[in-house]
Amino acid sequence: MKVYIAGKLRDKEELEQLNQVDEMCKSIGLDTFLPHRDVGLAESIKDVDKIFKGDIRDGFKDVKLVIALLDGFHVGAGTAWELGYAYAKGIPAIGLKTDESLEDSFEYLSAILLGSMPIVTSLQELRQKLLFFKENNRFN
């Protein structure tokens, strides 16, 4: 099963968290698509077509689940777009928010994001959800 891992990737901590999720997914037998690893980073406006084709047109092929990292003061624009795209295509998503409670982040996560997917607060909880999803093709 192919999992698309979405999240901000402009600083070392964000990249490390993406890589941790990737390793955890692989450890339970999931194939992963990690945009910065599999396509690269956009360094300038010249990279837009390459990134869009690689991340969206190619990256979403055969994806069965999106994992979205939601830490920080705001969700990245790319992550929000990827979540909306997945939702429109009927691909389930799960959010990971480890830096504060959902109640404390309600104002900037929005009811739309909160209502569109289950959100977990630790890698351990994510692992449990993924194992259940892998076995049942659903979250509950």
pLDDT digits (tens, 9 = 90+) for 110-121: 888 989 999 999
CATH number, position 13: 3.40.50.450
User: Mind listing the pLDDT tens digit for each residue in 38-80?
Assistant: 999 899 999 999 999 999 999 999 999 999 999 988 899 999 9
Q: pTM to 2 decimals? A: 0.94
The predicted structure's pLDDT at residue 124: 96
Residues 6+ apart with CB under 8 A from 134: 1, 28, 29, 30
Please classify residue 92 by burial: count the beta carbons closer than 10 Å to its beta carbon, then call 0-12 exposed, 13-18 middle and 19+ buried: middle
Domain that holds residue 73: 2-136
Bridge partners (DSSP) of residue 33 are 4
Q: How many domains does the chain have?
A: 1
The predicted structure's pLDDT at residue 68: 97
Instruction: List phi, psi (to 5°) of 39.
Output: -125, -40
